[in-house]
Structure 1
């Protein structure tokens, strides 16, 4: 597990409309309240349709967060859709000793050769995990599991607690349970490289 000993920790999410990047960013940010941390989740999108490229940002800190803006130099980047690699420079501004977490069937070594990024890379097939556990491709919660394994911003237990709390008001129990299983599966199967 990569331990980024920074305060605050900034995370940039890349996804497509409808994949749940904003929801995952919000869940991660709000988990900070269980740990007496300050948190901020900011989406960055306009009137994009489902499938359009979008970003979201999460900051978690032990101190009050003063900057209410996008994170230009994130400590970690999470990519929910590997097809974005052909459209967006997902590692732009990512710190050299940062962490890239990507939804892909490729190995971290293959991603490294494509992007030339020298920092830590984590790869997980979040699409297959979400299809297996939810019956459709919504990779946000599996990617949250992969990120939790890659960088301990907040505890795994508190993330599961927040996933349950956040999703139970919107979805049936079977969907909540499927998301928790998807989170756990990604946490266990993410590959580091």
Structure 2
């Protein structure tokens, strides 16, 4: 959905998951690239600009921040603070407003009735980085879904987008 929303915004986009020989239920790493020009690379992202963590339990088992650029962004699906997650040092290393937690699953449960944090995470990233508008996120969901599912995801996206903008308080994006 991130690549589709980026495409809707006018970016060149690429997205792909990385699966190993892991068992079902093992953590999955997915990569996405957005660029203003054609993307010719076909390899994993080793130095991400943005890290989105949809499940905070991954923080205990996977080095999700490996290679994160020093001016990168981190958005974690959690109602806890970065400090409560034990990530205060990482937050301090990044520029102000580049590390946030958003209760994406709670938003999804409220609006969709199911624990599907994707729309909230994508909209939160858009608000945090300024890489795309909320309208592009909603357009991507409208492209893939229709009716009540599309509408509920749009509501989740708006809730997360507005929440992140409020947390940033005009810091950037």
Task: Give the superposition deviation at 1:50.
Answer: 5.5
Counterpart of 1:44 in structure 2 is 18
Specify whether residues 36 and 147 from structure 1 end up closer, same or farther in structure 2 by C-alpha distance, changes over 3 A only.
closer
Q: 2:13–2:33: 8 Å Cα contact kept in structure 1?
A: yes
Q: 2:107–2:160: 8 Å Cα contact kept in structure 1?
A: yes
* Pair 1:94 & 2:72 matched: no
| Structure having the larger proportion of residues in strand | 1
* Pair 1:79 & 2:67 matched: no
Counterpart of 2:4 in structure 1 is 30
Bigger drift between 46-55 and 88-97 goes to 46-55
Query: 2: distance between equivalents of 1:115 and 1:71?
Result: 25
Counterpart of 1:123 in structure 2 is 101
* Pair 1:141 & 2:114 matched: no
Q: 2:73–2:99: 8 Å Cα contact kept in structure 1?
A: yes
Query: 1: distance between equivalents of 2:111 and 2:10?
Result: 32
Specify whether residues 70 and 41 from structure 1 end up closer, same or farther in structure 2 by C-alpha distance, changes over 3 A only.
same
Specify whether residues 127 and 42 from structure 1 end up closer, same or farther in structure 2 by C-alpha distance, changes over 3 A only.
same
Q: Any gaps of 5 or more consecutive residues in structure 2?
A: none
Query: 2: distance between equivalents of 1:180 and 1:49?
Result: 33
Query: 2: distance between equivalents of 1:187 and 1:142?
Result: 7
TM norm structure 2:
0.85
**Cα deviation digits, residues 67-89 of structure 1 (max 9, x gap):** 11110000010000111111111
Query: 2: distance between equivalents of 1:181 and 1:28?
Result: 17
Counterpart of 1:154 in structure 2 is 132
Q: Which runs of at least 4 in structure 1 moved beyond 6 Å after TM superposition?
A: none
Root-mean-square deviation (Å): 2.0
Bigger drift between 148-157 and 93-102 goes to 148-157
- Matched residue pairs, number? 162
Counterpart of 2:43 in structure 1 is 69
SS at 1:69's partner residue? coil
